[in-house]
């Protein structure tokens, strides 16, 4: 059972972000944001089976004790992030993307905070995530949010860093 559709609004100096649950009408924009954001940092691997979840968001996330959130600025989707169930006590933060024109303004922080709230609601006690070695800003962002490196691996020809965080319920 997915968390009820919700909206959170965050206001800062000159912008406003609305965070809401994914709806099917978002699909094309989600696909574009995913590819564009990864291309900008040199981490796009092309379309492959590693992206199958993006083409079945309701099945992979919303119907499976997870969440998929989008962040809008003035009605335009500029950020996204998801929570994927791994086990009854563990979930993965995945698909964190912020359009390059909106990075550094707190959009990713708001999405991550909402996903952590969702994780606690579902009773998850551990969060995992990964990012590539070329995504330096993402590494710093996750480390600022108390994720710590627990390993490294390869995805296609890209080295990835595995992170973990224990949640306080």
Q: What is the DSSP string of 91-105?
A: EEEEEEEE-GGGTTS
Structural domain total, the chain = 1
pLDDT digits (tens, 9 = 90+) for 89-131: 999 999 999 999 999 999 999 999 999 999 999 999 999 999 9
In a domain, 64, yes or no: yes
Is the pLDDT at 2 greater than 70, yes or no?
no
**Amino acid 1: pLDDT:** 38
pLDDT for residue 142 = 97
Residue 30 sits in a domain whose CATH number is 3.40.630.30
* Cβ-based neighbours of 82, under 8 Å, separated by 6 or more: 53, 57, 61, 66, 67, 68, 69, 93, 94, 95, 96, 115
- pLDDT > 70? residue 148: yes
Residues 6+ apart with CB under 8 A from 131: 138, 139, 142, 160, 161, 163
Q: Which of 7-16, 74-83, 101-110 has the lowest mean pLDDT?
A: 7-16
Whether 152 maps to a domain, the answer reads: no
Give the torsion through C-alpha atoms of 105, 150, 57, 65, to 10 deg: -110
H-run or E-run covering 117? helix 107-122
Question: What residues contact residue 164 under an 8 Å CB cut-off, 6+ apart?
Answer: 126, 127, 128, 147, 148, 150
Query: Which residues are within 8 A (CB) of 14 and not within 5 positions of it... i.e. 6 or more apart?
Result: none
Q: What pLDDT is stored for residue 14 in this prediction? A: 46
Per residue in 59-73, pLDDT tens?
Answer: 999 999 999 999 999
Q: Is residue 68 part of a domain?
A: yes
Radius of gyration of the chain (CA): 15
> Is 169 domain-assigned?
no
| pLDDT score for 155 | 84
Residue 21 lies in a domain: yes
pLDDT of residue 37 exceeding 80: yes
Cα atoms in the 13 Å half-sphere on the side-chain side of 78: 20
Mean pLDDT of the chain: 89
Is residue 142, in this structure, part of any structural domain at all?
Answer: no
Domain extent for 32: 7-128
pLDDT number for residue 6: 52
Calculate mean pLDDT across residues 85-90.
97
22 lies in a domain?
yes
pLDDT in the model for residue 46: 72
Domain-embedded: residue 15: yes
Q: Report whether 147 contacts 108 (CB < 8 A).
A: no
Residues 42-60 have pLDDT tens digits of 777 677 778 899 999 999 9
């Amino acid at each position: 059972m997915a968390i009820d559709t919700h909206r959170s609004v965050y206001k800062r100096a000159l912008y406003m972000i609305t965070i809401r649950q994914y709806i099917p009408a978002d699909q094309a924009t989600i696909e574009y944001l995913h590819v564009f954001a990864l291309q900008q940092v040199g981490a796009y691997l092309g379309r492959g089976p590693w992206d199958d979840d993006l083409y079945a968001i309701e099945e992979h996330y919303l119907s499976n004790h997870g969440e998929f959130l989008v962040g809008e600025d003035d009605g335009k989707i500029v950020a996204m992030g998801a929570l994927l169930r791994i086990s009854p006590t563990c979930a993965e933060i995945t698909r964190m993307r912020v359009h390059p024109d909106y990075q550094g303004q707190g959009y990713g922080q708001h999405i991550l905070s909402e996903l952590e709230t969702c994780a606690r609601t579902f009773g998850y006690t551990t969060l995992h995530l990964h990012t590539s070695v070329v995504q330096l800003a993402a590494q710093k962002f996750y480390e600022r949010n108390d994720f710590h490196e627990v390993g490294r691996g390869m995805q296609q020809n890209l080295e990835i860093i595995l992170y973990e965080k224990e949640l306080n319920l």
